Structure 1
């Protein structure tokens, strides 16, 4: 998703490719959680907790 994405080495790690902001990471996290919930009926939770 532009400046942020999912790690090629670990499917549950979000990465900033450069120039991304916290809001971009948050939007990607919400997108991933919604897709996983929709496809597998599993709720993901962030770790660590965002402040």
Structure 2
């Protein structure tokens, strides 16, 4: 998944090469959207910690 696959305003995600080798947009529930936001926050926190350790 790429960050460009997320549409924050519409709470959708782009599914690439799904069934039938076609892509589409999927609407995320509030629960799923919250999980995505939590994952992104944790990822950015880890990335920041790594970059601080390097520099």
Structure 2 length normalisation: TM-score?
0.44
Larger RCO, structure (CA 8 Å, separation 6 or more): 1
- Which structure carries more helix by proportion? 2
Structure 1 length normalisation: TM-score?
0.47
